[in-house]
């Protein structure tokens, strides 16, 4: 599997009881690329929804990438073509009293880094 980042390198967001907290990461590379994410809760759980919206998309043209109920850990990736926004939605609306601490990281790797541009020039074999 992939190597996990240490827990202290993950961002921390508190999700209050009966609330939703969002985090958005933008891809401004017209070539697109790959998003990677890690989400962890030390205790309890939240509903997680991850959405991708292409730049210039109309209302309702958002793609749901992940929809998980009462999860405490998730990791994944998404390859995107062109510019847009990846939104992580941490939903704690079902909890009446308990706020939750969510630790997460979202990484973006442009296509150009591992695309054809970086392959060695053709060599005679």
In SS3 terms, the chain reads as: CCCCCCHHHCEEEEECCCCEEEEEEEECCCCCEEEEEEEEECCCCEEEEEEEEECCCCCCCCEEEEEEEEECEEEEEEEECCCEEEEEEEECCCCCCCCEEEEEEEEEEEHHHHCHHHCCCCCCC
Q: For residue range 46-100, what is the model confidence (pLDDT) as tens digits?
A: 999 999 999 999 988 999 999 999 999 999 999 999 999 999 999 999 999 999 9
pTM value is 0.83
Q: For residue range 3-26, what is the model confidence (pLDDT) as tens digits?
A: 555 556 899 999 999 999 999 999
């Amino acid at each position: 599997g992939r190597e996990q980042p240490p827990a202290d390198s993950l961002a921390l967001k508190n999700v209050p009881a009966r609330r939703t907290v969002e985090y958005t990461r933008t891809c401004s590379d017209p070539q697109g690329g790959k998003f990677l994410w890690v989400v962890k809760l030390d205790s309890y759980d939240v509903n997680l929804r991850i959405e991708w919206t292409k730049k210039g998309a109309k209302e309702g043209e958002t793609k749901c990438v992940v929809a998980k109920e009462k999860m405490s850990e998730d990791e994944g990736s998404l390859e995107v073509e062109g510019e847009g926004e990846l939104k992580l939605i941490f939903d704690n609306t079902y909890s009446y009293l308990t706020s939750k601490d969510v630790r997460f990281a979202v990484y973006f790797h442009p296509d150009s880094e591992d695309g054809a541009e970086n392959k060695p020039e053709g060599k005679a074999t």
